[in-house]
């Protein structure tokens, strides 16, 4: 079988958000059943600020194994992080049964609902957040407060609308113009009532789910604002390589210690990842004695039925989407390959 080369222009809108969520759910469930099919994300930084990440995993049920790698030029600032240049991710997929090269996928995968919204690994990130939130948020959750108004926030709102029947959405970001534009554009796209609010507190108080989808490097809300029964999802990862290399002064945070302390159930992608990267939102509270590593539950374990999540409506729950995992990327890549073959996309490589 000749491998397929799939190019960036062929990826736009190729899969739906619902399909992406189910692919990621499959990848994490498989990992929960078999701990050996995924490795923590690895990153290196060079002095220019350019970093490269590698996400390695195998998803036997999807018929593929391999990796995804991506590279960005990162500019750390005091309160947030910017990306002057984002470059094409590359997926390398092999057959899960015999190891034959199946595909090279080059470019950002976007969903059919938002085909031109392409934040770095945005589809996988939002789909993973949806899987974790679906596991931990109350089933009757209908009010969502969003902190952030850029590409990740757009994808996440769409993803959350696929797992819950949202009736009220509030959005806050530092820029009044950005949050107003987000509310107008996404409200129209999803037929939702979205209200831009003037403070993080207004976005957090009185909602069922709080979503942090920012590029922040410091906590974006006060955990003491959280009310019983609320669920929080946070996506900011680690910048330990930037700190150790002298490029950034401090580790990134998106949530504060109060949020962690008040959460009865804390879900996470990978505990090993949090330890390896000394991730500020989780690693630092552990070092302070606020929580213990054994208090955390990986979403793969929840999906595999090995651990328990929310048990009471009044519990505060937290899902830390703490780094993209290879099982999610490979599962999503396998879905793209299947879709491309169905539509006759891609170019056969004669090797």
Q: Give how many domains the chain has, as a whole number.
A: 2
Q: What is the mean pLDDT of residues 273-285?
A: 97
Distance of alpha carbon 194 from alpha carbon 263, whole angstroms: 27
136 and 192 co-located in one domain = yes
pLDDT tens by residue, 102-157: 999 999 999 999 999 998 899 999 999 999 999 999 999 999 999 999 999 999 99
CB distance 224 to 91 below 8 Å: no
- What is the pTM assigned to this prediction? 0.96
Domain region containing 99: 4-118+326-348
Could you tell me the CATH number of the domain that includes residue 247? Answer: 3.40.50.720
CB distance 255 to 219 below 8 Å: yes
pLDDT confidence of residue 222: 98
Distance of alpha carbon 239 from alpha carbon 242, whole angstroms: 5
57 and 144 co-located in one domain = no
Angle at 117 between CA 65 and CA 196, to 5 degrees: 125
152 and 290 co-located in one domain = yes
240 and 331 co-located in one domain = no
Backbone angles phi, psi at 119, to 5 degrees: -65, 160
129 and 271 co-located in one domain = yes
pLDDT confidence of residue 241: 84
Torsional class of 72: left (φ above 0), alpha (ψ -120 to 50), beta (otherwise): beta
CB distance 286 to 292 below 8 Å: yes
Nearest to 127 by CA among 161, 82, 90, 81: 161
Q: How distant, in Å, are the alpha carbons of 154, 219, 267, 308 from that of 139?
A: 22, 27, 16, 15
253 and 158 co-located in one domain = yes
**pLDDT interval class at 82 (50, 70, 90):** confident
CB distance 335 to 19 below 8 Å: yes
pLDDT confidence of residue 197: 98
147 and 262 co-located in one domain = yes
pLDDT confidence of residue 47: 87
CB distance 118 to 145 below 8 Å: no
Could you tell me the CATH number of the domain that includes residue 68? Answer: 3.30.1780.10
Other C-beta atoms closer than 10 Å to the C-beta of 234 total 27
pLDDT tens by residue, 107-120: 999 999 999 999 88
Distance of alpha carbon 178 from alpha carbon 188, whole angstroms: 15
114 and 153 co-located in one domain = no
281 and 186 co-located in one domain = yes
Q: Which run of H or of E encompasses 342? A: helix 326-343
Q: What is the mean pLDDT of residues 20-36?
A: 98
**4-6 and 347-348 as β-strands: parallel, antiparallel, unpaired?**
antiparallel
**Beta sheet of 143-147, edge-to-edge order:** 194-196, 168-172, 143-147, 209-212, 231-234, 317-320, 265-268, 296-298
**Lowest model confidence (mean pLDDT) among 4-8, 241-245, 275-279:** 241-245
Coil, helix or strand for 120? coil
130 and 112 co-located in one domain = no
CB distance 107 to 123 below 8 Å: no
193 and 270 co-located in one domain = yes
Beta bridge partner(s), residue 232? 210, 318
Q: What is the mean pLDDT of residues 51-56?
A: 96
pLDDT tens by residue, 165-204: 999 999 999 999 999 999 999 999 999 999 999 999 999 9
234 and 109 co-located in one domain = no
pLDDT tens by residue, 247-266: 888 899 999 999 999 999 99
């Amino acid at each position: 079988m000749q491998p397929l080369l799939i190019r960036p222009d062929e990826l736009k809108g190729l899969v739906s958000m619902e399909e992406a969520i189910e692919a990621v759910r499959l990848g994490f469930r498989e990992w929960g059943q078999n701990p050996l099919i995924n490795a923590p994300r690895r990153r290196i930084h060079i002095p220019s600020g350019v970093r490269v990440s590698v996400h390695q995993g195998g998803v036997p049920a999807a018929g593929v194994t391999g990796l995804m790698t991506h590279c960005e030029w990162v500019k750390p600032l005091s309160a947030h992080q910017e990306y002057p240049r984002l470059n094409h991710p590359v997926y390398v997929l092999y057959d899960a049964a015999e190891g034959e090269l199946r595909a090279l996928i080059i470019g950002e995968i976007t969903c059919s609902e938002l085909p031109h919204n392409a934040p770095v690994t945005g589809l996988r990130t939002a789909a993973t957040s949806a899987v974790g939130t679906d596991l931990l948020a109350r089933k009757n959750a209908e009010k969502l407060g969003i902190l952030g108004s850029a590409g990740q926030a757009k994808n996440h709102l769409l993803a959350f609308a696929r797992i819950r029947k949202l009736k009220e959405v509030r959005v806050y970001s530092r820029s009044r113009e950005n949050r107003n534009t987000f509310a107008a554009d996404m409200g129209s796209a999803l037929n939702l009532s979205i209200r831009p609010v003037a403070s993080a507190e207004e976005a957090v108080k009185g909602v069922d789910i709080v979503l942090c989808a920012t590029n922040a490097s410091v906590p974006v809300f006060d955990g003491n604002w959280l009310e019983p029964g609320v669920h929080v999802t946070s996506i900011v990862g680690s910048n330990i390589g930037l700190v150790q290399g002298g490029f950034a002064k401090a580790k990134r945070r998106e949530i504060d210690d109060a949020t962690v302390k008040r959460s009865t159930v804390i879900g996470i992608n990978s505990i090993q990842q949090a330890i390896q990267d000394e991730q500020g939102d989780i690693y630092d509270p552990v070092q302070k004695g606020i929580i213990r590593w054994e208090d955390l539950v990986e979403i793969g374990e929840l999906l595999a039925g090995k651990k328990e999540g929310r048990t009471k409506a009044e519990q505060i729950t937290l899902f830390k989407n703490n780094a993209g995992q290879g099982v999610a990327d490979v599962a999503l890549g396998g879905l793209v390959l299947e879709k491309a073959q169905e539509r006759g996309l891609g170019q056969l490589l004669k090797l």
